[in-house]
Amino acid sequence: MKAARLKNSARLRRVADLLADGREYSTLDIIIGAGVCAVNSCIAELRDNGLAITCRREGNTWFYRMEATHAAA
């Protein structure tokens, strides 16, 4: 996969901006809050752009959080 560059992608900037507060967001939260569809792809692209984003699964729900070092930037 060729990741889009964060500076050139409004889609990735919306997801990064949503996650920037360091809180945990579910896949649905990100879909609604950032207006994107393929959350897992967006997260992979953000990681390729150097952002540290963790994820965990609780049942059938995935949660994503940007690490504080990137959230403050």
Instruction: Give the C-alpha separation, 6 to 19, whole Å.
Output: 14
pLDDT, mean of residues 18-45:
97
Instruction: Give the C-alpha separation, 9 to 59, whole Å.
Output: 31
CATH of domain 6-71: 1.10.10.10
Long-range Cβ pairs for the range 27-34 (8 Å, 24+): 27/61, 27/62, 27/64, 28/61, 30/64
The domain limits of the chain are: 6-71
Confidence of residue 2 (pLDDT cuts 50, 70, 90): confident
Q: What is the pLDDT of residues 55-64, one digit of tens each?
A: 999 999 999 9
